[in-house]
Amino acid sequence: MDILVEMSDQNLKKVIKILTKNGYRVKQPVDPMGMADEVTRRDWIQNKHMKAFNFYKDQELKEVDIIIETPVSYEKARKTAMTVKCGRLTLPVISIEHLIAMKKKSNRPVDKLDIEDLKRIKILRERRK
């Protein structure tokens, strides 16, 4: 699961604490709290070309990527997010337009395929209106 969060150091510390408290670990050989330091985070983005910071739970085969480099800020994405009901939770989900922008920026082959699918979904939704 990819998560886009508000990127203040204080908020990132909270996110990291929640994930580690719930049994998530990091694959990278670094202290995850480094992500909560803007200088360190910028270094990882610029020098290691990091786009996301991965947390995982081995036994449950669960992964969470905190997106740290994106053309769409949390604040911008929040304005156009839709909500999806998932059990007792209501989750904000990024708009198709912003997801397409993020996938274009990453420029991976799998993202190029996703973009085509997202464009088809967007057309179908517009036809329903």
What is the chain's mean pLDDT, rounded? 91
Q: Give the three-class secondary structure for 11.
A: helix
Query: What is the reported pLDDT for 27?
Result: 85
Strand-pairing partners, residue 25, are 56
- Report CA dihedral (98, 102, 104, 107) to the nearest 10 degrees: -170
pLDDT in tens, 24-75: 999 888 999 999 999 999 999 999 988 899 999 988 888 999 999 999 999 9
pLDDT in tens, 2-16: 899 999 999 999 999
Strand-pairing partners, residue 68, are none
Is the per-residue pLDDT at 89 higher than 90?
Answer: no
- As a whole number of angstroms, the distance between CA 88 and CA 97 comes to 27
Q: How does residue 108 score in pLDDT terms, banded at 50, 70 and 90?
A: confident
The residue among 101, 104, 95, 92 whose CA lies nearest residue 122 is 95
Q: How does residue 111 score in pLDDT terms, banded at 50, 70 and 90?
A: confident
Kindly report the pTM of this predicted structure.
0.82
For residue 96, how many C-alpha atoms fall within 13 Å in the half-sphere facing its CB? 13
Q: How does residue 98 score in pLDDT terms, banded at 50, 70 and 90?
A: very high
Residue 6 DSSP code: -
